[in-house]
Every structure is written in C-alpha cells, then in structure tokens.
Amino acid sequence: MPRFRIKEAAELLGVSDDTLRRWITAGRVSVTSDGGRQAIEGVDLINFAEQLAASNERPAMGPIVGESARNRFVGLVANVVKDKVMAQVEIQAGPYRIVSLLSREAVDELGLERGALAVASVKATNVVVEVPERPPFRPG
C-alpha cells in the first residue's frame, strides 16, 4: 500500500504542510513513522480526504488567473468497482470527486486501488486516469 510524505499528502489535500501537521497534532490524521520521518498510509489519507470533502472544510481559493481546455486533477483513488469488462473509478482530488468509467483491463494494468495516487485528466466529457511515476518511499 502506498505511503505519502507530509508534503505530498498536503498537496493532495490542497492545504499547506503546516495545516496538515496541525491536523496530525490534533489527532485528525493518523501517521506512521519510518526512520524518524512521518508518512500517511494511502488508505488513511483517502479516508481523511473524504471526511474533509464531506465537511465542506476547504482551503480558501485565490482568484482564477487562467484556465485550459484540459484539466488535470491529482488525487487519491477512493473506490473501484469492477465487473467482467468495465470498471468505475472514483477519485477524491481535494474537494472534488471525479468518477471515471474505463475498462477493467486498464484498471488492473494501472494497479488502481483505494488509496492509490492517480491523476484524472478531463477533456470534454471524457476522463482519462493516469498514474504518475514517483520514486519509492524511502525512510530516513
């Protein structure tokens, strides 16, 4: 199961590192310690992201300074439902919930599971799910 460092987790939640650390200190988010570094399990992070989104507690957004025809939402896989041919993948990207329908084969090849890091690329009515390359978590 993937683990996310505090900085990575804060970016996925759309908050500052300091805000996430305050939530950890307050006991709102559970962390693990590997070699003295704090990390959050992917499943714990998505559980917290969903609670945060449901509570409508969102960071203040600044003014919109640009837009594009192609939007990318970095988030965590919240749910995967598969049948023989198709699959439904739900991604929690900050306060946004994105649902994509794609082939079961694609879901299996991408290794999509609850708590995994994913990017939803949105163009018109289609959502393409990508898995970004990231170095493995190394404590210490």
Same domain, yes or no: 75 and 126: yes
- In-domain check, residue 137: no
- In-domain check, residue 24: yes
101/86 Cα distance (integer angstroms): 7
Side by side, the strands of the sheet bearing 32-34 are 3-5, 37-41, 32-34
Contact 140, 35 (CB under 8 A): yes
User: Based on the structure, what is the number of domains in the chain?
Assistant: 2
CATH number of the domain encompassing residue 7: 1.10.1660.10
- In-domain check, residue 125: yes
- In-domain check, residue 50: yes
Statement: the pTM of the whole predicted model exceeds 0.75: no
Range of the domain at 98: 71-130
- In-domain check, residue 66: no
Contact 12, 44 (CB under 8 A): no
Residue 106 neighbours by CB distance under 10 Å:
15
**Residue (of 74, 84, 78, 82) closest to 131 by Cα position:** 74
List pLDDT tens digits, range 1-52: 788 999 999 999 988 899 999 999 999 999 998 677 889 999 999 999 988 8
Contact 88, 80 (CB under 8 A): yes
CATH number of the domain encompassing residue 120: 2.40.50.100
List pLDDT tens digits, range 77-105: 999 999 999 999 999 998 889 999 999 99
Side chain identity, residue 71: N
